Chain A
Amino acid sequence: MESRFRILFLVLAMLALAGCGTNGFLGIGGKKSAPPPSGPPDPEQVIDPDVERREVKEPAIDAEDFEIGGFAGVMSIEDFGSDLVYGLRLAYHITEGFFVEGTVGQTEAGLTSFEVLSGGAPLLSDDDRQYTYYNVNVGYNILPGEGFIGESRAYNTGLYLIAGLGSTRFADDDRFTVNYGAGYRFLLNDTVALHLDFRDHLFDIDLLGEEKTVHNLEAHLGVTVFF
């Protein structure tokens, strides 16, 4: 297996170097210098045209493709009850449809039913009950539209889907986490947006004896600013 990869690499490397001959390895060489001007200067051009070229500038237009903000809501940790969750979100809108998003959030795990009923020693220390996560997601605005309040106010809105990967720190361990969800964006104006989001965070955990995949559901409200 290993030697096969080595052979593969050698073959690919050879091909690459062969390509470099025409391309200029490391970008050095391969560039042809411009041919020297040949023949005497045009005798008919007596006057040197002194026309000032109008410089075409890139128009200074405010592009607002980034979105930053915070959120707060409720998160339910499987077996450990629900508690306040809060966090930050940064998004970049690639096209009118697609965006990528990074989120970080924090909540705290409560007591399991077993801990409450038995009244015994708690399963986790207070520090281990801290639940923090980060995710990197790809999103798609599936239903862009408008929302109307009364007869004279219209606001741009959008329903979007997100899915992504990340890590969750909980019960003294970092866990590979998959999350997906849907959200509703309500733009107060061109710059400020309100969000309502529902997300499911999945990871494997063996804290209660056997390994299982848990679903941690989160619902939050957020405010973001485009810049």
Chain B
Amino acid sequence: MSEHNTGITLSRSRKTRPNWLAALVLVTSQAFTTGLAEAADEYRTVSVADPYLEMRTGPGRGYPKFHVVDRGETVDILMRKTDWFKVRAPNGKEGWVDRSQMELTLQPGGEYIEFAQADLEDFTNARWEVGGLAGDFGGANIISLYGGYSLNPNVSIEVWGSQILGNFSNGWMGSVNLTHETWPEWRISPFFTMGTGVIHTSPKSTIIQGEDRTDQIAHVGAGIRFYVTRRFSLRAEYKSYVVFTSRDENEEVEEWKAGFAFFF
């Protein structure tokens, strides 16, 4: 019981703690969203359908439970952090509830509430994707960022920007490519890619006397996308580049890299 009381004291102190910044944010956000809030308020209040709803002091598994809301009572949903929801109980106490418990609450109309949760289906059908990868580009290190747009679940168009950091030269590369996923609905989804772009290299002056060069490139490659959780996925790929140099022979470069991506 004493533990319970401590929790309540803490919770009250959080609420009444003077904080001008929070007040400012609140006032500003209220000024901007008054119209919006009227429509949304109805859905922000839910009633507990499970025997009870446990409130924790923080958004995480390990934070202590300090309050319980009984079946039939209502709570207001204030905000969300990852899979945790901050709610306000009828007696004014505020705490964090995880998503699995929140999904056992009812909207005013009596339906179970559903929260937007990116899943494997979104991984297949999402339109936009951004990501970052790093790896090896013909012996040099490469760091890449990309953005992609899906024309349909199978085909997407991607724009890449890379920085190349080598022992003998540095440079950057920009390219546009098409990727094709044969089984986009799979959790581990293989893809093929081909594209074209430009590469700019500047030799390190201390080692080689050379000129900066900008050449056209073309590449083909293959890789896998691996759906992890929420909007997050991992990606690994191999690409084979041809650099169309102004010399007699074209250069061929192999690239391996891995990284992560978000879709939305």
Q: In chain A, residues 106-158, which have Cβ atoms closer than 8 Å to a Cβ of chain B? A: 136, 138, 141, 144-146, 152-154, 156
- B187 interface contact, C-beta 8 A: no
A91 to chain B, nearest CB (A): 12
User: In the complex, A136 Cα to B252 Cα: how many Å?
Assistant: 28
Identify the closest chain A residue to B9 (Cβ): A152
B79 touches A60 (CB 8 A): no
* Given A24-B154, A56-B111, residue A94 in contact with residue B13 (CB < 8 A): no
Contact for A5 among B163, B206, B240, CB less than 8 A: B240
**Judging by beta carbons under 8 Å apart, are B84 and A167 in contact?**
no
Q: Does A95 contact B83, Cβ atoms closer than 8 Å? A: yes
- Spell out B's residues near A (CB within 8 Å): 9-10, 13-14, 17, 19, 21-22, 25, 36, 39-40, 43-44, 57-63, 77-86, 107, 109, 111, 113-116, 132, 134, 141, 143, 151-155, 163, 165, 170, 180, 182-183, 190, 192, 204, 206, 220, 222, 229-232, 240, 252, 254, 260, 262
Task: Report how far A24 CA is from B180 CA in the complex, Å.
Answer: 12
From known contacts A19-B182, A26-B155, infer whether A92 and B57 are also in contact, taking CB-CB under 8 Å: no
A223 vs B78: C-alpha distance in the bound complex, in angstroms? Answer: 23
Return A44 CB to nearest CB of chain B, in Å. 29
* A to B CB contacts below 8 Å, 8 in the list: A59-B107, A95-B229, A136-B134, A144-B60, A152-B9, A165-B134, A167-B143, A188-B19
Q: Is A61 an interface residue (CB 8 A)?
A: yes
Interface size on A, residues (CB 8 A): 56
Contact A16 B192 (CB under 8 A): yes
Residues of chain A within 8 A (CB-CB) of B25 are: 191
CA distance A226 to B79 in the complex (A): 11
Q: Of A32-40, A70-78, A169-177, which binds chain B?
A: A169-177
